């Protein structure tokens, strides 16, 4: 047994259908499809068509996450091909900007992504931020906002936004409130 028509690499536009096809020299009722090392099973995402010598794997609504090597295995023989998904890659249209704010005030970090419905995870010095009384997170389409309220000098940090493996970072600097009604400046810093 061998492959008359082995699998061929495919490049399809984002959201479109990809169709891997191959023909083998004899009728085989059962073949196994793999995505990388994982076995592919029929689902709304994957359609598997076995028609004697002709075998097809259809991938519906292709996303960038579907890019991988796909392999068919029949009677110990294998054929593999790569799927590439074309389209606009996720990027930061508006990245984060550094901010300097006075102690007791709020800082607001805005960013805009190239795609909608992409989750963003916010970090403060590499520690994941969670919504609280002083931390607010807002999403509207492609725009994501982090608001940090009632800041203290200890809140000076690095802010990072992560979306599907891409990052945008900014520095948050909190400065003390100095009384300037005297010829000399007095800063009262509470510890």
Residue 146, Cβ neighbours under 10 Å: how many?
Answer: 24
Same fold flag, 3-86 and 92-177: yes
For residue 147, name the pLDDT band (cuts at 50, 70, 90). very high
At the fourth CATH level, which superfamily is domain 3-86? Immunoglobulins (2.60.40.10)
| pLDDT the model gives residue 60 | 96
> In 27-91, which ranges are E strands?
32-35, 38-39, 46-51, 54-59, 68-74, 77-86
Under a CB-based contact definition with an 8 Å cutoff, are residues 105 and 112 in contact?
Answer: no
Residues with Cβ within 8 Å of residue 72, at least 6 apart in sequence: 7, 20, 22, 31, 32, 33, 34, 55, 57, 78, 79, 80
67 or 29, which is more confident: 67
Q: What is the mean pLDDT of the chain?
A: 90
| pLDDT the model gives residue 59 | 97
Residues with Cβ within 8 Å of residue 16, at least 6 apart in sequence: 61, 62
For residue 120, name the pLDDT band (cuts at 50, 70, 90). very high
| pLDDT the model gives residue 178 | 64
At the fourth CATH level, which superfamily is domain 92-177? Immunoglobulins (2.60.40.10)
Q: Could you tell me the pTM of the whole model?
A: 0.56
- The domains of the chain are located at 3-86, 92-177
| pLDDT digit string, tens, across residues 33-78 | 999 999 999 999 999 998 888 999 999 999 888 999 999 998 888 9
């Amino acid at each position: 047994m061998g492959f008359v028509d082995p699998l061929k690499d495919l490049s399809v536009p984002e959201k479109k259908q990809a169709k891997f096809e191959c023909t083998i020299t004899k009728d085989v009722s059962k073949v196994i499809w793999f995505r990388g090392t994982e076995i592919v099973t029929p689902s709304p995402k994957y359609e598997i068509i076995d028609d004697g010598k002709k075998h097809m794997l259809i991938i519906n609504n292709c996303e960038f996450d579907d890019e991988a090597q796909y392999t068919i295995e029949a009677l110990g023989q294998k054929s593999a091909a790569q799927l590439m998904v074309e389209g606009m890659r996720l990027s930061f249209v508006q990245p984060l900007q550094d901010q300097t704010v006075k102690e007791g005030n709020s800082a607001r970090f805005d960013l805009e992504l190239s795609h909608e419905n992409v989750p963003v995870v916010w970090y403060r010095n590499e520690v994941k931020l969670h919504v609280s009384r002083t931390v607010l997170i807002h999403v509207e389409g492609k725009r994501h906002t982090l608001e940090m309220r009632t800041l203290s000098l200890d809140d000076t940090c690095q802010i990072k936004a992560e979306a599907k493996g891409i990052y945008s970072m900014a520095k948050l600097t909190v400065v003390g409130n100095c009384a300037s009604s005297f010829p000399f400046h007095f800063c009262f810093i509470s510890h």
